[in-house]
């Protein structure tokens, strides 16, 4: 059913999604209005594929074939021509996504499925700006996309069974595990993950324990690959804050209110890995996990 797939947004998630589709044999149109971002995305995909070659999970020939399946486009109009699926992975901002879906509805082939990689914005609201809400669905990949097996599939209120079944089948074809959920705030992944992260931040805020102790307890005690504070830095503290706000507003329950310390860190521009400082600092070139001075 899917011969060609478009991916909108060439950031971390978009380049990972393009990588995985291409690696599994699907020609991909990677679309971004920012030409520099497209160049950077191709470099990241090369680097991540090289890593797979050096680990032996991809041969050099497979890498070349996969890489050549990715074409880049600077407009939606050109990029969605002849595709059967569009996966939107643009910035996590509702007005931006609504505008993209209006445009996609106008420009993508009528039978194409329109998926969003949103981590918390309502699929039902996104679908409502299109004339094909039955063909709109959430396809929530996890970061780093080439490594993480899960895809959370979100059925909006109007998503039909044919669309959901096709996306589940595609997810299995790209060697990922689909889990289908309904469209309520935070879906499942972030409804459960974000309160844990928020609780870890509140524990720092209240002085219950230090950053390293909290992360070590969760890593060694619960076998999590990263502690919740390191994971928050990895996801981006602004993203965590915005998802918690979606949960807080969507359920009207104070238990989801973002910790004031998280609000302060976001306001101060300490967003984690991407700005070089969050709960830890990330000096260029260093692989060590260094707790930020502020939390020592």
Interface positions with ligand CAA (CB under 6 A): 48, 51-52, 55, 57, 119, 142-144, 146-148, 189-190, 225-226, 231, 235
What's phi and psi for 100, nearest 5 deg?
Answer: -65, -45
Distance, in Å, from the CA atom of 280 to the CA atom of 210, rounded to the nearest integer, reads: 12
What's phi and psi for 72, nearest 5 deg?
Answer: -115, 145
82 or 144: CB nearest ligand CAA: 144
Question: Could you tell me whether strands 113-116 and 280-281 are parallel, antiparallel, or unpaired per DSSP bridges?
Answer: unpaired
Active site residue 19: no
Active site residue 24: no
Taking alpha carbons only, the member of 287, 275, 295 closest to residue 210 is 295
- State which residue has the least CB distance to ligand CAA: 119
96 or 226: CB nearest ligand CAA: 226
Pick the catalytic residue from 88, 92, 152, 277.
152
Kindly give the interhelix angle for 189-205 and 228-235, rounded to the nearest 10 degrees.
110
Pick the catalytic residue from 19, 29, 140, 241.
140
Active site residue 29: no
Are the beta carbons of 154 and 183 closer than 8 angstroms?
yes
76 or 87: CB nearest ligand CAA: 87
Give min distance, CB of 95 to ligand CAA, in A.
Answer: 19
Active site residue 48: no
Distance, in Å, from the CA atom of 268 to the CA atom of 265, rounded to the nearest integer, reads: 5
104 or 121: CB nearest ligand CAA: 121
Give min distance, CB of 123 to ligand CAA, in A.
Answer: 14
Ordered DSSP codes for 48-67: HHHHHHHHTSS-HHHHHHHH
Give min distance, CB of 139 to ligand CAA, in A.
Answer: 12
Give min distance, CB of 63 to ligand CAA, in A.
Answer: 12
Query: How many C-beta atoms surround the C-beta of residue 260 within 10 A?
Result: 11
Residues with catalytic annotation? 119, 140, 152, 190
């Amino acid at each position: 059913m899917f011969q060609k797939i478009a991916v909108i947004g060439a950031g971390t998630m978009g380049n990972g999604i393009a990588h995985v589709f291409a690696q599994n044999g699907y020609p991909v149109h990677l679309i971004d209005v920012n030409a520099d971002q497209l160049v950077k995305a191709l470099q990241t995909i090369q680097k991540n594929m090289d890593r797979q070659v050096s680990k032996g999970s991809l041969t050099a020939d497979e890498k070349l074939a996969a890489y050549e399946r990715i074409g880049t486009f600077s407009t939606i109009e050109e990029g969605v021509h002849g595709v059967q699926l569009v996966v939107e992975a643009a910035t996590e901002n509702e007005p931006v996504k609504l505008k993209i879906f209006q445009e996609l509805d106008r420009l993508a082939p009528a039978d194409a499925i329109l998926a969003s990689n949103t981590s918390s914005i309502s699929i039902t609201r996104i679908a409502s700006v299109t004339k094909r809400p039955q063909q709109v669905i959430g396809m929530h990949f996890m970061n780093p996309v080439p490594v993480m097996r899960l895809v959370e599939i979100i059925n909006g209120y109007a998503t039909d069974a044919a669309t959901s079944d096709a996306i589940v089948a595609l997810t299995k074809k790209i060697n990922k595990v689909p889990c289908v959920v309904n469209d309520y705030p935070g879906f499942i992944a972030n409804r459960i993950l974000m309160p844990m992260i928020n609780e870890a931040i509140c524990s720092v805020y209240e002085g219950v324990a230090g950053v390293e102790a909290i992360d070590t307890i969760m890593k060694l005690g619960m076998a999590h690959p990263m502690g919740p504070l390191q994971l928050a830095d990895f996801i981006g503290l602004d993203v965590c804050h915005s998802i918690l706000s979606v949960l807080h507003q969507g359920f009207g329950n104070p238990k989801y209110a973002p910790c004031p310390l998280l609000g302060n860190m976001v306001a101060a521009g300490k967003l984690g890995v991407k700005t070089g400082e969050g709960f830890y600092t990330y000096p260029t070139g260093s692989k060590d996990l260094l707790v930020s001075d502020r939390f020592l």
